[in-house]
Structure 1
Amino acid sequence: MSVTFEIRTGAALLTIDNPPVNVTSQAVRAALAAALDKAEAAGVSRVVLTGAGKTFVAGADAREFNAPPVPPHLPDIVARIESFPVPVVAAINGAALGGGLELALGCHARIAATTATLGLPEVTLGVVPGAGGTQRLPRLIGLQPALSLIAEGRVIGAAEAEKMGIVDVLAHDPVAVALSFALPPRHATGALPNPAADDAAVEAARAAARRRAPGQIAPQRAIDLVAASVILPLGEGLAQERLTFLDLKTSDQAAALRHIFFAERAAMARGKAGGQEISRAVVVGGGTMGASIAYALAGAGIHVALVEVSLAALEKARTNVAGLYDEAVKRGKITAEAAANEQAVRLAFHVGYDALPRAEIAIEAAFEDMTVKRAIFARLDAALPDTAILATNTSYLDVNAVMEGVRNPSRVLGLHFFSPAHVMKLLEVVRAKNTSEATMATALKLSARLKKIPVLAGVCDGFIGNRILTRYRQTTDLMLLEGAMPWQVDAAMRGFGMAMGPYEVQDLSGLDIAYANRKRLKWKTRPDIRYVPIADRIVDETGRLGRKTGCGWYDYADGKVTPSSVIERIVIEESDRAGLVRRAFTDAEIVERAVTAMVEEGVRILEEGIAETPADIDLTMVHGYAFPRWRGGPMHYAERLGLSGFLSRIETLAAADPVSWRVPDLLRRAISEGKTLEELSGRMK
C-alpha cells in the first residue's frame, strides 16, 4: 500500500510508503487523496504526514515526465492540504526533496528529524518546482534565500532549514512531536504576504546561474517565477509555475538531465551485487594520482600501504598525501585532529615490496610505461597472496599486456581513476580477458564504497573516455589544418557547453602527455590516420608544454591568457605544407564535426563491445571530460537529434576524407531497423 492510515490519540497519521524513496507517483497521489478523504470523514483533530523508512518524499516520479500528467495532480494535493479543515503537520523523517518539500510547505507546521535534508532541486533535472515551491517558499522565508535554494537546486540539512524558517522544530522522533506539538497560530504558507522586492538579489541569482549553469534554461526560468512571487497573487503565480513546469518537462534539456540521472543510479547500483569487502589495500606510486587514490581509500575506512621506490620518493609521497589532508582541513571537510588520526592509523609508507600487508587489492599508479608497470606487477604478484586483486590505473595501455605472466589472471583488471581521484566521481572498471565475475563484483563494491560512478569498459587503447578524447582532438587538429585556429575551436566548444575547449584542456594537462602517446602509437607512420604535425612541432621546436611552462597553445603572462602568434605561424605553415587552401569555419560547423567524431567513435566502441551500454559512454564523457550534462552525453545527444542526421554527416565527411571517417555498421543497423543503440549494443565478453 502506498499510503497507510491510522488513528493515534485523535489524530490521523498518514505514512507515504513507496519504496525505495517514496516518490509521488500517480498511485501515491491517488492514495494520499483517498487518505485525506478518510481523515476528514473521521473527524480527527489534526493530520500528521510522514514517510516510511529513511525518506519523507524524495520528489516526483521522473519516469512519469515523458507521459501526459494523470490526476490527481500534486499541486491539487498540496492545495487540499493547505486548506484542510484541520491542521496538517509534516513529520519530516528524512529527505524532503522537490515535491516532498512542496507537500511539507502546504502543511500548517513542519517537524524535521535532525538528520533530514530538504530542498527543491528540480533545476538539476531541467525543470522547475511544479507544485507551488516557487511561490510558497519565498512567502515563507523571503526572496533572497528562496532564490538561493531554488535557482541552485541546493539541498540543505535540517538545522539550516530551521534557521531559515522552513522547519519549526527539530526532533529525534518527528512523528511523536508532530502528534502533540502545540500548533503555532498563523496563516497557511500560501496565505502569507508576498515577499518584499529585492532586485539586487534577483540579478545576483541570474549572474550566478549564468556562471554555474551556462546554457541551461531551467535556472533562469525558476528565477523568473520566484521573482514573480513579489507581485503576483498566489493563484496566478501557481498557474505560471505549472505552465512553466509542463513546458520544461518535455524539453531536450530535461530529457538529457533525466537520462544522466537514471544512468548514474543504474551505474552506482552495480556495487550492490555482492563482492568482497576491502579492508586493506596497497597503492604503488605516491605521485599526484597515487597519493589521491590512497587518500580516497583511507577516507573510506580502508588501511593503505603506499609503496615507493626510494626514501626520497617516499618522503615526497608523504608530503603529497599530507597536502591533501591539509586542504581538506582548510575546507572544513575534516578536523585537524581527525586528519592526523586518519593518517596515523590508516596510512603506512613502504620502500619496496618487502613486508607488505596481506591486502585484498593492490592498485598501481605509476607513469604510463609498459615496462615499468609490468615490473611492478611482477613484484606485487610475488609479494601478495594470489587471491589479492591486482589493478592498474593505466589511462591507455593494454591491461592484458600489463598483467601478462601474473599468477591467477582471474583477479586482474584496470581501475582507471580520473584526476584528482579523491574528487572525480568517474571510475572506468576495465575487464581484462580473464577477469572473473567475483573480481568485477569486488571492484564494483569498492567503487560504491568510494562513492564513485563506475562504467564498465573492455580493453582497447584509451578504453572509453580517452579513446573518444583522442578522436575528438584528432578531428579538431584536422580543422586547424583546414582553416580554424585553436582559440576559435575552444570558443566554439565552450559555446556548445563544454567546460573548456580541447586546446585549453591540453594546456592545462600538459602537451607532453599527448605527445608521448602519439609517439607510443607511432602516429607519424600509421596509414590508418591522417597525421597532423602541429602539436608535435610545438613540443619539438618550441618546448611549449602548456601552463606549466608559461606557454602552450596559448601564451600565459601576467595572469592573462592570449592567442599565440607562434602557434598561428605553425598552424598556417602546416596548412601550406599539406597543400591546403585555408577556409573560414563557423562555430556551428566546428561543433558539428567535433561532436560527430565523438558520436562515431562512441558507436564503434559499442559495436566492439568495449562499452556495455550507450549510457556508460555518456556517463564517461559527462563526468570525465565535461561534456555538457544538459545535453545528456554524446550518445543521448545523437539519438535525441536523430541518428539519420549523424549518418548523413559521416557519409559526407567520409566521401571527402575516407581515412578519417567511416560509417559504423551499428549506426546503419539502428536506422534501418528503427531501433535504439541500446537495443543493438553488444555486450562485453
Structure 2
Amino acid sequence: MSTAHYDLNGAIAVIRLDNPPVNGLGLALRQGIVNGIRQAEADDAVKAVVLIGSDRAFSGGADISEFGTSKATAEPNLNTVINYVESSRKPVIAAISGACMGGGLELALGCHYRIAKPDAQIALPEVKLGLLPGAGGTQRLPRVIGAEHALNMIVSGSAVPAKQFKGSALFDELVDGELQDAAIAYATKVANENLPLKKVRDLKAKHPNPEGFFMFTRNTVGAMAKNYPAPLKCVDAVKAAVTMPFDKGMEVEREAFVNLMQTPESRALRHAFFSERLTSKIADVPSDTPVRDIKSVGVIGGGTMGTGISINFLNAGIPVTLVEMKQEGLDRGVAAIQKVYEGRVKKGRMSEDDARAKIALLTPSLTYDDLSDVDLVIEAVFEEMGVKQSVFEKLDEVCKQGAILASNTSTLDLNKIASFTKRPEDVIGLHFFSPANIMKLLEVVRGDKTAKDVLATAMKLAKAIRKTAVVSGVCDGFIGNRMINQYQREALLMLEEGASVQQIDKAIEKFGFAMGPLRMADLAGGDIGWAIRKRQYQENPDMVKMVVADRLCEMGRYGQKTGAGFYRYEPGNRNALHDPEVDKVVDEVRAELGITPRKISNQEIVERCVYALVNEGAQILDEGIAQRASDIDMVYLTGYGFPVFRGGPMHYAEEVGLPNVVRAMQAFTEDRHTQPGFWKPAALLAKRAEEGKGFDAK
C-alpha cells in the first residue's frame, strides 16, 4: 500500500514518499505525510523534517489511479497537506530528485526550504489536461521565480531542469551528491542555526509593469489557445498572484480550477490522457506475458513508408536491414534516411556524432537472404495482395523460426496474408502512418492466429519507438481507414449535392480538424483512395460511386504530388489553391446525375462527416474490431488530426448526447443521394442511446 515512511536520523525526521512509480499523491500517501508532520511536531527530540521521494521522482503530482473516485478529493486533500507542511512549527525541507511536477511541485513550494539535484525535472503540467494548478501553484511559483518565468512554465506545462533555477528562491541549494545525506545535513544546519520558517506565501510576486505585461500576455495567449480556455485562466491566476494578497489569489485560482474541471475541453483532454494509457491493456493478454527479444529489424521497401519505418528503429538504437529489389531504389531510400538526420543536425536537434551513429545502424541490401537472422521484419511494399503474397512466401523461406513477420498494410486482409506462410501465429499487422517517423499512431493488427506473445512484443516495441499503439482486429481498413472511408464519402457526396470544395474543408477545419477531408485526400494521394474504391466497387456492385473523386483521378489529378487534385498546387508550395477546373468537373457530374445543387450548411457538413465516423466506430465496437471506444478516439487523435479539445469522435458523440446523434442521423436518411441504409444507426449506437449510456458501458 502506498504510504509515507517515517524514520529518525538523529534530530532529523525523514518522511519518504512511497507510491511507485512516480509517488502520485494518493489518499494513503497524503495521510502519511500529514501523520508524519504530526509525529515530528509531537517529538521534542525532532528539530527538523526532510520530505523526500525516490531517485525517479519526488512526486509526479496527483495519483491518476484515483481520478474520478472519492479518494481523489477525500481529506486530507492536497491543499490540506500543504497547509500542514507550511504551518509546521518545525522546519520542513523538500529534497527533490527526478520528477517534481504538478501537485508534487506545489507540495515542495509549501515546504520551508528546498534542495534539489540539478537534473530534477520541474513542471506544472496541468494545462495539458485543460486545467491550472489547483493547490497554490499559480500563487507560489511566481513568488520564487518571478511572474514572467512562472507564467511561461504554467501556460506551457513544460518541464525545466532544476539547475536553470540556480540563484532563485525556488531552491536553497543544488546538490550533486547523495540527496538524503545532503538533505539531512541541510536540515541540521537549519535547526542548529535556528533559521526562520520561510513561507513562500509571505514573499511578493513582482513585475515592473504588471498592467502592460498581463494585457500583452492575454492577447498573445488568447490568439494561440483559442480552443482551450485553461491558458487564459492561468494568466488571470498569475496576475492575481502579482496584484492581490495571497489568500485572495488562492480564491481566484480555486474558482478557476473548479470552473475548468467542468469544461468540455478539459473533459476531452483528460479523456485523451487516460485513453492513451488504456490502449496497452489487452483483455486476454496478461501484462506479464513473455515477449520476444527484438535486437534487429528488417524493412522491405525503400519508399516513403519503408524509410520512415526504418528511422523509428534507428532512433531507438535498433539495427535495421533495409531491403530493396533494385540498386536505384535502395540508394534513394538510404539517401532519404540520411537527409532526415542531416536535417536534424542542421536544426540543432542532434549532434553529428549521434547522427552518424544512427546511420551506422542501417544495412542496405538487395537480397532477402540478409533477413535470415533478424528478429522482426516489416514489409512496406505496394498495397496489392499479389505483391504481399510473394513477399511473405519469401520471408517464410528465409526468416529464422521465432522471427515476427509484420505487414504495414493499411486495408488488406491480414489473415489472408498470414495464410501465405507456414507460421501464421508469427504474423501481425504494424500499420504505420505517414510520415512514419513522425506520426504517433501505430495500428497493431491482430490476426485470427496471431500469438499472444507476438502481440505483447509489438505493444512493448511500440513504446520503445515512442508510438501510441492501438490494437485492431481484421477488417477492411481496420479501425482508422475503415472509418475515414465513410467520412470521406460523406464529404464527396455533399460536394455533389451542392457544397463547394472550400466550404467543406473550411467547415471541418473550423470544427477543429487539422485539415479538411479534401485537402487531406490531396495530401495522401488521390490514387490511393481511388485504388481502394475500385476494389470496393467490384466487391459491392451496389455501392454508390464517388463520381467527382473518380473523375479527377481519371484526369491524373492525384493531389499534391501531381500539382492538382481537389485543389491546384504551385511548384515548391503546398498551399491549396482554388481551381476552376474542379468546379467545372463538379458541375458536369451534377448534371449527369440529375442533381439540382442545394445550399448545405456548415453544421450539416460537420454532422454528416463526424457522425459517419461515429456510426462506423460503433459498428467496429460491436464487431469486436476495437476493444473500447477510447481506443477508437486515440486512433483519431493521434493519426487523423481529430481535434484534441473534442476528445475523439466517440467521446464527442457522448458529449453531444447519443440520443441527439441518432436523431440527427435519422434526418439524414431522407437524403436520396446517399448509400441506402447508410444512416441506419449501428445496433450498439441505437442501444446505448436508448439506455442513456456511453459506448463502453457494461
Shared fold (TM-score greater than 0.5)? yes
Alignment RMSD (CA, Å): 2.5
Give the match for residue 179 of structure 2.
174
Residues of 1 paired with 2:216 and 2:578: CA distance? 31
**Residue 305 (1) aligns with residue 317 (2):** no
Residues of 2 paired with 1:341 and 1:29: CA distance? 46
Distance 1:172 1:398, change over 3 A: farther
Residues of 2 paired with 1:311 and 1:567: CA distance? 39
Distance 1:64 1:222, change over 3 A: farther
Code of the residue aligned with 1:593 in structure 2: it is R
Residues of 2 paired with 1:533 and 1:414: CA distance? 32
Distance 1:206 1:326, change over 3 A: farther
Give the secondary structure class of the aligned counterpart of 2:368.
Answer: coil
Matched-pair contact (CA < 8 Å) for 2:590–2:596: yes
Superposed displacement of residue 591, structure 1 = 1.4
Any residues of structure 2 matched to 1:165-204 within 5 Å, and which? 166-168=170-172, 169-181=174-186, 187-196=198-207, 197-198=209-210, 202=214
Distance 1:615 1:172, change over 3 A: farther
Give the match for residue 7 of structure 1.
8
Give the match for residue 490 of structure 1.
505
Superposed displacement of residue 54, structure 1 = 2.0
Code of the residue aligned with 1:48 in structure 2: it is V
Matched-pair contact (CA < 8 Å) for 1:416–1:430: yes
Superposed displacement of residue 185, structure 1 = 7.1
Indicate which of 112, 116, 122 corresponds to 1:112.
Answer: 116
Residues of 1 paired with 2:378 and 2:493: CA distance? 37
Residues of 2 paired with 1:45 and 1:489: CA distance? 69
Any residues of structure 2 matched to 1:433-582 within 5 Å, and which? 433-522=448-537, 526-541=540-555, 543-557=556-570, 561-582=576-597
Give the match for residue 97 of structure 1.
101
Residues of 2 paired with 1:108 and 1:84: CA distance? 9
Give the match for residue 683 of structure 1.
none
Distance 1:245 1:426, change over 3 A: same
Code of the residue aligned with 1:441 in structure 2: it is A
Matched-pair contact (CA < 8 Å) for 1:158–1:170: no
- List per-residue Cα deviations over 1:519-544 (Å, max 9, x = no partner): 23237x94443222112222323x33
**Residue 222 (1) aligns with residue 222 (2):** no
Superposed displacement of residue 135, structure 1 = 1.3
Matched-pair contact (CA < 8 Å) for 1:414–1:429: yes
Q: Which moved more, 1:198-207 or 1:39-48?
A: 198-207
Residues of 1 paired with 2:627 and 2:327: CA distance? 43
Indicate which of 610, 614, 617 corresponds to 1:595.
Answer: 610
Indicate which of 161, 164, 175 corresponds to 1:160.
Answer: 164
- List per-residue Cα deviations over 1:586-614 (Å, max 9, x = no partner): 32222122111110010011111111111
Superposed displacement of residue 511, structure 1 = 2.2
Give the secondary structure class of the aligned counterpart of 2:371.
Answer: coil
Superposed displacement of residue 62, structure 1 = 4.3
**Residue 364 (1) aligns with residue 369 (2):** no
Matched-pair contact (CA < 8 Å) for 1:529–1:660: no
Distance 1:286 1:569, change over 3 A: same
Superposed displacement of residue 172, structure 1 = 4.1
Matched-pair contact (CA < 8 Å) for 1:528–1:659: no
Residues of 2 paired with 1:676 and 1:162: CA distance? 50
Percent sequence identity over aligned pairs: 39
Indicate which of 38, 48, 51 corresponds to 1:49.
Answer: 51
Q: Which moved more, 1:130-139 or 1:270-279?
A: 270-279
Distance 1:99 1:435, change over 3 A: same
Give the match for residue 236 of structure 1.
248
Superposed displacement of residue 11, structure 1 = 1.6
Indicate which of 134, 145, 149 corresponds to 1:145.
Answer: 149
Residues of 2 paired with 1:179 and 1:283: CA distance? 54
**Residue 676 (1) aligns with residue 694 (2):** yes
Give the match for residue 429 of structure 1.
444
Matched-pair contact (CA < 8 Å) for 1:91–1:174: yes
Any residues of structure 2 matched to 1:250-269 within 5 Å, and which? 250-268=262-280
Superposed displacement of residue 128, structure 1 = 0.8
Residues of 2 paired with 1:419 and 1:166: CA distance? 43
Q: Which moved more, 1:182-191 or 1:244-253?
A: 182-191
Residues of 2 paired with 1:480 and 1:14: CA distance? 66
- List per-residue Cα deviations over 1:368-398 (Å, max 9, x = no partner): 2222222111221111124211100011111
Gaps of 5+ in 2: none
Code of the residue aligned with 2:651 in structure 1: it is H
Superposed displacement of residue 122, structure 1 = 0.4
Matched-pair contact (CA < 8 Å) for 1:268–1:448: no
Code of the residue aligned with 1:38 in structure 2: it is Q
Q: Which moved more, 1:206-215 or 1:223-232?
A: 206-215
Give the secondary structure class of the aligned counterpart of 1:49.
Answer: strand
Distance 1:117 1:339, change over 3 A: same
Distance 1:294 1:96, change over 3 A: same
Code of the residue aligned with 1:509 in structure 2: it is A
Superposed displacement of residue 414, structure 1 = 0.6
Gaps of 5+ in 1: 681-685
- List per-residue Cα deviations over 1:605-635 (Å, max 9, x = no partner): 1111111111110110100011122222111
Distance 1:453 1:548, change over 3 A: same
Give the match for residue 306 of structure 2.
290
Superposed displacement of residue 358, structure 1 = 0.8
Give the secondary structure class of the aligned counterpart of 1:555.
Answer: coil
TM-score, length of structure 1 as denominator length = 0.93
Matched-pair contact (CA < 8 Å) for 1:310–1:352: no
Matched-pair contact (CA < 8 Å) for 2:147–2:205: no
**Residue 342 (1) aligns with residue 358 (2):** yes
Indicate which of 72, 79, 101 corresponds to 1:75.
Answer: 79
Residues of 2 paired with 1:236 and 1:675: CA distance? 41
Residues of 1 paired with 2:350 and 2:631: CA distance? 32
**Residue 16 (1) aligns with residue 27 (2):** no
Superposed displacement of residue 199, structure 1 = 5.6
Code of the residue aligned with 2:337 in structure 1: it is V
Code of the residue aligned with 1:228 in structure 2: it is A
Indicate which of 663, 677, 683 corresponds to 1:665.
Answer: 683
Code of the residue aligned with 2:246 in structure 1: it is L
**Residue 123 (1) aligns with residue 143 (2):** no
Residues of 1 paired with 2:593 and 2:167: CA distance? 67
Residues of 1 paired with 2:503 and 2:168: CA distance? 46
Superposed displacement of residue 466, structure 1 = 0.9
Matched-pair contact (CA < 8 Å) for 2:330–2:366: yes
Superposed displacement of residue 92, structure 1 = 1.1
Residues of 1 paired with 2:484 and 2:679: CA distance? 16
**Residue 274 (1) aligns with residue 290 (2):** yes
Give the match for residue 401 of structure 1.
416
Superposed displacement of residue 205, structure 1 = 4.7
Any residues of structure 2 matched to 1:22-61 within 5 Å, and which? 22-43=23-44, 44-52=46-54, 54-61=56-63
Q: Which moved more, 1:187-196 or 1:569-578?
A: 569-578
Q: Which moved more, 1:290-299 or 1:278-287?
A: 290-299
Distance 1:544 1:278, change over 3 A: same
Give the secondary structure class of the aligned counterpart of 1:410.
Answer: helix
Distance 1:626 1:166, change over 3 A: farther
Give the secondary structure class of the aligned counterpart of 2:364.
Answer: strand
Code of the residue aligned with 1:668 in structure 2: it is A
- List per-residue Cα deviations over 1:617-676 (Å, max 9, x = no partner): 011010001112222211122223321112222223234453432221122222344543
In the alignment of these two chains, the number of paired residues is 677
Residues of 2 paired with 1:291 and 1:268: CA distance? 26
Distance 1:105 1:303, change over 3 A: same
TM-score, length of structure 2 as denominator length = 0.91
Give the match for residue 88 of structure 1.
92
Code of the residue aligned with 1:615 in structure 2: it is S
Residues of 1 paired with 2:290 and 2:565: CA distance? 47
Superposed displacement of residue 201, structure 1 = 5.1
